[in-house]
Amino acid sequence: MEQLPKMTAAELQDVVKDGKTMLFFSATWCPDCAFIKPAMPEIEAEYSDYKFVAVDRDENIDLAIELNVFGIPSFIAYEDGKEIGRLVNKDRKTKAEVEEFINSLTTNAN
């Protein structure tokens, strides 16, 4: 998974402008992030139409604030530069919940 360098929401537009992108907000100290991390390679493989980008919440705190991400782990999906969905809260997320979220994006898009 690609790691997002420190940037602003305006700069992020360049990262998400083409195709489908899934931002994964987490932090090294976050136990709920550590819980979902082992499942991420499998989720990435299952949803290969998305480019998954890891966002270190601490390194990108200003970006997290700009995007209203106040809980982690969180996911924000983009398609061609437009946000198409978000799973943003402070709850622990299971692999099934993340998959359900991504599946709902496909359903909503049709």
Residue in 12, 33, 87, 105 annotated catalytic: 33
Q: What angle do CA 50, 77, 94 make, to 5 degrees?
A: 85
DSSP code for 25: E
74 is catalytic: no
Residue in 30, 63, 69, 87 annotated catalytic: 30
30 is catalytic: yes
Helices (H), the chain: 9-16, 31-36, 40-46, 61-66, 95-109
Active-site residue set = 30, 33
